[in-house]
Amino acid sequence: MGNPLLDISAVVDKDFLDKFGLKSNDQILAEDKHKALFEEIVKRNKVEYHAGGSTQNSVKIAQWMIQKPHKVATFFGCIGTDHFGKILKKKAEEAHVDAHYYEQNEEPTGTCAACITGDNRSLVANLAAANCYKKEKHLDLDSNWELVKKAKVYYIAGFFLTVSPESILKVAKHASDNNKIFSMNLSAPFISQFFYEPLMKVMPYVDILFGNETEAATFAKKLGFETDDIAEIAKKTRNLPKENTKRQRVVVFTQGKDDTVATVGEKVTMFPVLDIDQNDIVDTNGAGDAFVGGFLYALVQDQTLEECIRAGHYAANVIIRRVGCTFPEKPDYH
């Protein structure tokens, strides 16, 4: 469950970033001052449109890695009854994801401008319709809740905390009560900074927490961990209060080209990523989402943590060689 967005990606220059006050490698929510950015970016000569939104990306990658059967994953989120909404529906179908969108006509379908410079990407999300998801209008409907009950693994990006924390809690509690796996992502530094309260309300139900090094550092600072050692942060995060004591929390932090850090039982282990020539990196947009997708692919097949991370590394390695969160027809994963 998450924010379905249509990604609009284009290569820009530093002047463009400066004009709109963007950092080269960041994720933010659009403000009024970014309105013109969306108008300008679509006029760029090489603009590409891809179905996006963090959670939906991960789900699509997991399905791509699995290949058959189709529709192993169900996705909930809100879109508009417009052209971009039609594109998202079509793209979800092509990716064989079982998307059940809540459709409303008050807000247009959400978009995300991916401003690419070199191998950095600055993401500006205009949630629009994605922000209109309503628990009582969608999640609570019997037909939809039945789909929730059918699942054995749940994944929601932290981005959705800005939209419907009550929906996240309902799913998280269901997972915990039924000893199923609930996983979540720190998603962006601003989530820990400005949506700390809803994040910490869900944390006791989180069985697997994902994040990258920047998000981990921001989270640690907010919680007063008083360390910037990533392994130490992972350990302290694992030890935060937990509802379902049958499962020990697993914390997985990626660090770009550096080792992925994960808690394994009482210890913390480093897992090296796959080597890649700097020249082969086209754009890192979606690398984190792809990692989660690969991880979920192995997880639903009850593979070991090490295998889950290996699959995550493979998927991320594929995605960074291409524009946006796109992939070849079939994976070449063994």
Cis peptide, bond prior to residue 165, ω within 30 of zero: no
Sign of CA dihedral 196, 197, 198, 202: positive
Element (H, E) at 155: strand 153-157
Token pair in block for residue 176: 């915990």
Cβ-proximal residues to 191 (8 Å cutoff; 6+ apart), any chain: 158, 159, 161, 162, 199, 215
Burial class (CB in 10 A: 0-12, 13-18, 19+), 226: exposed
The Cα 203–Cα 199 span in angstroms is 6
Among candidate residues 18, 289, 302, 332, the one labeled active-site is: 289
277 catalytic, yes or no?
no
Q: Contact at 8 Å (CB) between 294 and 316?
A: yes
The letter for the amino acid at 131 is: N
CA-nearest of 257, 215, 270 to 237 is 215
Element (H, E) at 292: helix 287-299
Residues with active-site annotation: 289
